[in-house]
Amino acid sequence: MTTNRRGWLGAAGASLAGLWLTACDKLANDPKVNGVLQKAEGWTMRAQRALTDRKALAREFSPADISPDFRANGTTRPDSYEYETLLAGNFADYRLAIGGLVERPLELSMAELRALPSRTQITRHDCVEGWSSIGKWKGARLGPLLDRAGLKPNARYIVFHCADSLELTLDGTGQYYESIDLIDAYHPQTILAYEMNDATLPVRHGAPIRLRVERQLGYKHAKYVMRIEAVERLDAVDANGQTVLGRGKGGYWPDRGYEWYAGI
């Protein structure tokens, strides 16, 4: 029985913190079992800390800290007829589509997006190229929006499809896209920003909406978001064995060697 229990203890992993409190003294005093318990407890604490850390807020700054000249990077104006048409109409015809693994697919106008629960934050944007700028962002909180669409139980990632292609490819893998997990999606500072520094989001910074996912590096902050898709996996392939999302690494830059998880 002891052996059995030890085997179970060794495999139990995450639930051990609870067990630690109820384990009988005799078992816990067995030096071998004790060692296993301590190791597992250490692991649980580290996992717990990592999770708590991921839920922590990114630092927020004061209005005086706002960069007078926030840099623009990557695409600064999507080169497509569809985007130009939307822009010419001041995005009156823009609809943000939310689909994939959701109960209620949505199509939201800018007026509807602006009516959603919002958040305003002054944060620092860090680009891997080695520059940072501080800006003030206002946008719809992604969490409540996803709740409105209703994520299906197998949804694990949120994908952002953008209007621009950074590289011209025949298979469409040059289209900018990004993805985040549900911890980042439900983080309180994760917003679909439609305002920057108290003005309508400028084209060079991603009009009409861009993602702000403040615990991540710059390239995760998708600009020109046209469609949001909830998916189970990022490396899904179709019947021909072709990756469905870009090259299967979860983002334009991750497809080209950058880390998918770019937490800061």
Ligand X SMILES: Nc1nc2c(c(=O)[nH]1)N[C@H]1C(S)=C(S)[C@@H](COP(=O)(O)O)O[C@H]1N2
Distance in Å, CB of 206 to ligand X, minimum: 6
Q: In DSSP terms, which residues pair with 135 in a beta bridge?
A: 123
Q: Are 210 and 202 in contact (CB under 8 A)?
A: no
What's the closest the beta carbon of residue 223 comes to ligand X, in angstroms?
Answer: 4
- 139/206 with CB nearer ligand X: 206
| 64, 136 Cβ separation under 8 angstroms | no
Decide the pairing of beta strands 225-231 and 96-100.
parallel
**Is there binding between residue 72 and ligand X (CB under 6 A)?**
yes
Choose among 189, 192, 195, 246: nearest CA to 223: 192
**Minimum separation from the CB atom of position 129 to Mo ion (A):** 6
Q: Are 196 and 137 in contact (CB under 8 A)?
A: yes
Q: Is 95 exposed, middle or buried (0-12, 13-18, 19+ CB in 10 A)?
A: middle
Closer residue to ligand X, CB minimum distance, 27 or 72: 72
| 219 in contact with Mo ion (CB under 5 A) | yes
Q: How far is the CB of 173 from Mo ion (least distance, A)?
A: 19
Convert residues 212-251 into a mask of x (bound to ligand X by CB under 6 A) and - (unbound): ------xx-xxxx---------------------------
109-138: contacts with ligand X (CB under 6 A): 127
Determine the interface stretch with ligand X among 37-45, 66-74, 89-97, 184-192 (rule: CB under 6 A).
Answer: 66-74
Q: How far is the CB of 175 from ligand X (least distance, A)?
A: 9
Q: How far is the CB of 181 from Mo ion (least distance, A)?
A: 20
83 C-beta neighbours (distance < 10 Å), count: 21
Quick one: which H or E segment has residue 164? strand 157-165
Q: Is 208 in the site for ligand X (CB under 6 A)?
A: no
Reduced to 3 states (helix: H, G, I; strand: E, B; else coil), residue 59 is coil
Q: Return all residues near 222 (Cβ < 8 A) that are at least 6 apart.
A: 160, 162, 176, 177, 178, 206, 210, 211
Strand partners, 162: 225
Closer by beta carbon to ligand X, 6 or else 71? 71
Q: x/- string (CB under 6 A) for ligand X, residues 163-192?
A: -x-x---------x----------------
**Conformation bin of residue 59: beta by default, left when phi > 0, alpha when psi is -120 to 50:** beta
Which residue among 9, 61, 67, 71 contacts ligand X (CB under 6 A)? 71
Kindly determine how many residues on this chain lie close enough to bind ligand X according to the rule CB under 6 A.
18
Binding flag, residue 206, Mo ion (CB under 5 A)? no
Per-residue x/- mask for Mo ion, residues 119 to 148, rule CB under 5 A?
--------x---------------------
Task: With beta carbons less than 8 A apart as the criterion, state whether 176 and 222 touch.
Answer: yes
Give me the residues that bind Mo ion (CB under 5 A), please: 127, 218-219
Give me the residues that bind ligand X (CB under 6 A), please: 71-75, 127, 162, 164, 166, 176, 205-206, 218-219, 221-224
